Amino acid sequence: MDFSPLWLSLKIASISTAIVFLTGTFLARGIVRRQFFGKQVLEALFMLPLVLPPTVVGFGLLYLFGKNGPLGSLLLEWFNFQIIFTWYAAVIAAIVVSFPLMYQSASAAFLRYDRTLENAAYTMGASRWKVFWTISFPLAWPGLLAGLVLSFARGLGEFGATLMVAGYIPGVTDTLPLAIYFSVESGNEQQALLWVIIIVLIGFTTIYWLNNWSKKPWLNDPGKR
């Protein structure tokens, strides 16, 4: 049996989650506690993929990265490389649809704790980088981990935008959601059922672990850490 859809989905979800975790964390840290003109508009743009239909997101990516699109034409001209209908396109789709979850979780995490420790560290001469890694990041970690897990689950289950920008190419872009859909289309319901069971187990395990982990007493009482 060919398990390439499973390994491909895990690879795409892992890469997209790593990128989303880094960008979402640092953008949230830099934006959430500051007030500037256009902040609400910027955050609305960040959250927009969460409420748009996946096909709309896919169309936007297709427009940007298509061979005649602003980014796609540059890549084709400069590097002779086309993203559309490759697994890279599936990674980009997963990044776009999962980023709002990471940004939202990170924003809530950085707003949740008291900044007294940060301010005290600044007055003692600590750099912003050191304060972030030794104080801000550990205090926000529970919320950041929740965003990371949810982003991974969202990237793993992405279908609509992926289908539009990556298509269904067996062995190349056949992620689990696409494999399920086209297995049903071709009448191979047993194959589809197997993929459904696998992705449900992965999703259930992920959410179950996150729910249990978030109820640990030391998460709500920093003194017990």
The pLDDT of 184-210, averaged and rounded, is 90
pLDDT band at 158 (very low <50, low <70, confident <90, very high): very high
DSSP secondary-structure letter at 140?
Answer: H
pLDDT at residue 203, as a whole number = 87
**What does the mean pLDDT of the chain come to?**
88
Structural domains of the chain sorted by starting position, each given as residue range(s) with its CATH number in brackets: 4-174 (1.10.3720.10)
Q: Of residues 207 and 184, which shows the higher confidence score?
A: 184
Give 3-state DSSP helix, strand, coil % of the chain, rounded to 5.
80, 0, 20
Average pLDDT over residues 92-107: 95
105 touches 141 (CB < 8 A): no
* Helix (DSSP H) and strand (DSSP E) numbers for the chain: 12, 0
CB atoms within 10 A of CB 225: 10
Span 25-31, average pLDDT: 92
Calculate mean pLDDT across residues 125-141.
Answer: 86
Q: Is the pLDDT of residue 115 over 70?
A: yes
Does residue 11 carry a pLDDT above 90?
Answer: yes
pLDDT at residue 223, rounded to an integer: 47
- Check pLDDT > 80 for residue 216: no
Angle at 23 between CA 22 and CA 24, to 5 degrees: 95
pLDDT of residue 162 exceeding 90, the answer is: yes
Q: What is the mean pLDDT of residues 4-24?
A: 95
Q: Which pTM was predicted?
A: 0.89
